[in-house]
Structure 1
Amino acid sequence: MTSTTRGVERRTIDVVPASERHGTPRSQFTLWFGANLQITAIVDGALAVVFGADALWAIVGLLLGNVLGGAVMALHSAQGPKLGLPQMISSRAQFGVYGAVIPLVLVVVMYLGFAATGSVLAGQALSEGLHLGAPKLGIVLFGVLTAVVATLGYRYIHLMGKISTVVGIVGFTYLAIKIVADYDVTSFFGTKGFDIVTFLLAISLGAGWQLTFGPYVADYSRYLPADTPATTTFRATFLGSVLGSQWSMTLGAIIASIPVTAGDPGFLGNQVGFMGDLAGGGFVALVIYLVIVCGKLAVNCLNAYGGLMTILTTTSAFTRTSKVSQTTRALLIAAFLATSVGIALFASADFLDNFKNFVLVLLMVFTPWSAINLVDYYLVSRERVDVPALYDPDGRYGRWNATALVSYAVGVVAQVPFLAQKLYTGPMTDALGGADVSWIVGLVVTAAVYYVWARRTANPPAETIPMPESVSARAAV
């Protein structure tokens, strides 16, 4: 039995057997490149300038953050072909079957947040392009489009990545040429000089953007053949995500530097409308709105599909099942997207400031999770996983793993003195002149605590124990 019927994917959190593996790592490049050529990434890059960085140093800082965070994210992706599992199922090997639910709850919040904030911008683009009037109609329509593609599943999400790659390259290249033709871009650079606080903020924005892909990146590499070299998967994912996001963020840093006249809200006040005006208005603006919708649809499908996997991973810990009906699968996706659309419809107008704080808060809670997952997989267990035990609370990994859970809590708490948030600024942040280095502290502290402790307590198998093929086959029925 194949994993699709009439084009609709049937597998969810169960293991993808060898007979259903397909594709090449090239698909990872187009998926992540296309998913990052989008307006929210432009907003993320603009934030570095909006909050005080010089455009040149913002771009350098964003690049450094994207490279550092992208390397961590791509290491997660390399686990997909090896295990054939969604990302968060594999974290049961560190946290325990029940214990993995704790970071899972935070993952669901992340997906909802990104889906909602992205829906606001995509809804505006649809409303502008189709002359729907109120942006709320565009938000609802965008939610429906996302539901269709996410329900169809893996193959169609990758197809959406390919479409977004082509459309995004054309649209973003045009915008770059238009900006250079209409403005003296060189005058945007070197106007403020180097400032360590805003430079570190730019690094955090880039790293945070990449790290938040970590909890679902392997969801989209798990169908690759098991003999796909890890280095090849890593390279394709890393280059696609870093190049796509850096292109978008560089464009954002430059757009945020464009001077505006008095009374003009500029990019801050109307991100989508500003992009259309920047393109030249008229038919060309309509094309740019289409580019925005394609990019947001590509990444929003990742959020909805990842949300499905996360919800099922959470519930299956207690129901001890790895399969659901296609009807249940579709209903869960619909419920997730209905919630995100509801949030989008009532989102605060103060979008940029809220989004900045949203990204940085997520960085605080996901950095320790990434550290534990990667340290365990590559350094402690050395890529050896007892796959059947991931679905059994009474198996090798147990219900709760105190080593991972305590290390995770230590990693989160260790960041608090270094936070630079809207609602709270840590004492060490003041000593550093306002620079937020909390994510670096969380990564290093968590990795060190977990590695030393897990080396004494972990019980990995002598070699990877696969799920019996007969079990995987039944899960697709």
Structure 2
Amino acid sequence: MKNNIYAPDRIITETDRVLGWRDFFSLWFSLGIGLAVLQAGAVLSPGMGMVTSFYAITLGSLLGCLLLALAGVIGFDTGRSSMASMAYSLGKKGASVPALLNLLQLIGWGAFEIVMMRDAASLLAARALGSQSIWANAALWTWLFGIGATAIALGGPLAFIRLVLRRWGIYLLLIACAWLSLSLWRHGDIHRLAAAAGNGSLPFAAGCDIVISMALSWLPLIGDYTRFGKSARQSFLGTLGGYLLGSLWMMVLGGAYALAYVGNGDANALLVALSGAALGIPLLLILIDENENAFADIHSAALSSALFIPRQVKPLTLIIGLICTLIAWQVPLSQYENFLLLIGSVFSPLFGVVLAEHFLVRRRRNPAPGAGLSWRAFAAWIVGIAVYQLLLRDYPQVGATLPSLLIAGLLHLGLARRGEFNSAR
């Protein structure tokens, strides 16, 4: 396929709509199977206990995945990438703001993914071959994973999803998840885990908010893939089923392993525990799959940058991949974690506006977007960001992700209805 098929502002035609529900299920199941998802579960269980954290994971996953799948329908309806479709809500000039923020956060998170893979691979190599082995060298793994993720992104998502994930990749992941589950069942005290009470440090609502935010972190990317769907129904069901099953399974496993072998949410301790389960083979399979998360970050970052730089996507993909790898190699990323989380927090209320605009105001119709900036949409977005920060600072036990999304969406809907009323007078 021609490289320009991935141009972010290109409207996908019927002949380009080649992905069915099995493709989306494979993709999103794969993206739901990740080290960050495991670690999120490990954060929940010590504070909430296994049973309560299971309820929070289930409820949060259902809500987050429903919103994620709905956002995927927007990509199908518009035929454009996630950031290009922002023009329908924010105006063409206004869409450049989230595109720039998305570019910054995806470069950062792409580097984080490489770091997580590097740390896990170095740990596995050190346990198997000794800490003095060249394969335990962190810098070596940084470049190997950076090059691997960039190579996948250069190949494009369509070929990767259809030729790798759907044909055999998903089966390796199912084996890894089942193997980790069986190892926990055989060697962990399941009855003790089920009866374990949390230390009370994490309220139920805050736990749900963490789970929801994991799913919603993919909102700025999902349209980059669902625009190639054969139908809105297949895009919705494949995304919903795949990410729900993958993330739910991984978070529960992460929480259970944390209680069984770690006792807290420490990421390195969790990796040590997982590396010892079933000879570390399931963790190795998950580690190989983690490249797909980095690939998704790099590919979508290239699409966002293509909205500013009039170049084809492949050269931009190569540049973004190199930048992510250099950051992972040289920069202590802990210094930037709060900055990246701050950028990420703006997308929850933004998609409250986008979802309300697409489904309730325009009712899935796509008239030509305005050339300027929609102040109505920006006002609702800014209020949503303020609500998010206020709740995060003063009411962390309530959670901030879902309330800010709902308030921004309802405010935008109200302003739109008022504008329609005034226009009709």
TM-score of the superposed pair, with normalisation by structure 1: 0.79
Q: How does 1:271-350 map to 2 (within 5 A)?
A: 271-280=270-279, 285=280, 287-313=281-307, 315=308, 324-325=311-312, 329-346=313-330, 348=332
- 1:63 corresponds to: 58
Q: Is the 8 A contact 1:208 1:362 kept in 2?
A: no
The CA distance in 2 between the partners of 1:79 and 1:445, in whole Å, is: 20
The match for 2:346 among 358, 365, 384 is 365
What's 2:186 paired with?
Answer: 181
CA 1:223–1:110 in 2, change beyond 3 Å: closer, same or farther?
Answer: same
Q: 1:399 aligns with which of 372, 392, 397?
A: 372
Work out whether residues 37 and 165 of structure 1, in 8 Å CA contact, stay in contact via their aligned partners in 2: no
Which secondary structure does the structure 2 equivalent of 1:400 belong to? coil
Matching residue of 1:95: 90
**Structure 1 vs Structure 2: percent identity of aligned residues?**
21
> The residue matched to 1:399 in structure 2 has which SS?
coil
Q: Deviation per CA, 1:119-152, whole angstroms, max 9, x where unpaired?
A: 1121234443595121121011101011111011
Q: Which residue in 1 is equivalent to 2:253?
A: 251
Please say if 1:161 is aligned against 2:160.
Answer: no
Partners of 1:252 and 1:361 in 2: CA distance: 25
- Of residues 373, 383, 394, the one that matches 1:410 is 383
**Is contact 2:356–2:409 with CA below 8 Å preserved after alignment?**
yes
After superposition, the CA RMSD in angstroms is 2.7
Structure 2: distance between partners of 1:362 and 1:240: 26
d(CA) in 2 for partners of 1:118, 1:160: 20
Q: Helix, strand or coil: the match of 2:6?
A: coil
1:139 to 138, 142, 162: 142
Query: Using the alignment, how far apart are the partners of 1:269 and 1:383 within structure 2?
Result: 45
Deviation at 1:414, TM superposition (A): 1.8
* Distance in 1 separating the partners of 2:289 and 2:191: 28
1:358-405 deviations in Å (ceiling 9; x for gaps): 78645631111111111000110111113xx45xxxxxx122110111
Contact 1:94 1:372 in 2 (8 A): yes
How many pairs align? Answer: 410
Equivalence for 1:39: 35
What is the match of residue 111 of structure 1? 106
Q: Aligned residue for 1:469?
A: none
Distance 1:444 1:57, change over 3 A: same
| Pair 1:212 & 2:208 matched | no
349, 367, 379: which one pairs with 2:360?
A: 379
Query: What's the offset of the Cα at 1:267?
Result: 5.6
Aligned equivalents of 1:15, 1:116: Cα separation in 2: 30
Quick one: structure 1 residues 457 and 339, their matched pair in 2 at CA, closer, same or farther if it must change by over 3 Å? farther
CA distance in 1 between counterparts of 2:58 and 2:339 reads 20
* 1:89 CA displacement: 0.9
Q: Which amino acid aligns with 2:212?
A: A
Q: String of CA shifts for 1:408-442, please: whole Å, max 9, x gaps.
A: 111111222211xxxxx32xx2xxxx504222331
Q: Given the alignment of the two structures, is residue 238 of structure 1 paired with residue 233 of structure 2, yes or no?
A: no
> How far apart in 2 are the matches of 1:208 and 1:361?
13
- The code of the aligned residue for 2:373 comes to W
- Which structure shows the higher helix fraction? 2
RCO greater where, 1 or 2, for CA within 8 Å and sep 6 or more?
A: 2
Whole-Å separation in 2 of the counterparts to 1:71 and 1:359:
24
Residues 117-136 of structure 1 aligned to structure 2 (within 5 Å)? 117-127=112-122, 128-129=124-125, 132-136=135-139
Q: Is the 8 A contact 2:68 2:218 kept in 1?
A: yes
Aligned partners of 1:29 and 1:236 also within 8 Å: yes
Q: Distance in 2 between matches of 1:22 and 1:147?
A: 23
Q: Which runs of 5+ in 1 are unaligned?
A: 391-396, 420-424, 460-477
Deviation at 1:196, TM superposition (A): 8.8
How big is the shift at 1:246? 0.7
Q: Secondary structure in 1 aligned to 2:154?
A: helix
Displacement of 1:22 after TM fit?
1.7
Aligned to 1:382, the other structure's residue is in SS state coil
Q: Determine if the alignment matches structure 1 residue 12 to structure 2 residue 7.
A: yes
How many angstroms apart in 2 are the aligned matches of 1:61 and 1:362?
25
SS of the residue corresponding to residue 301 of structure 1 reads helix
Query: CA contact under 8 A between 1:94 and 1:373: conserved in structure 2?
Result: yes
Cα distance in 2 between the residues matched to 1:81 and 1:33: 19
Q: Judge conservation of contact 1:55–1:189 (CA < 8 Å) in 2.
A: yes
Q: Are the counterparts in 2 of residues 95 and 404 from structure 1 also a CA contact under 8 Å?
A: yes
Mapped partners of 1:350, 1:93: distance in 2: 36
Partner of 2:26: 30
SS at match of 2:195: coil
Match of 1:472 in 2: none
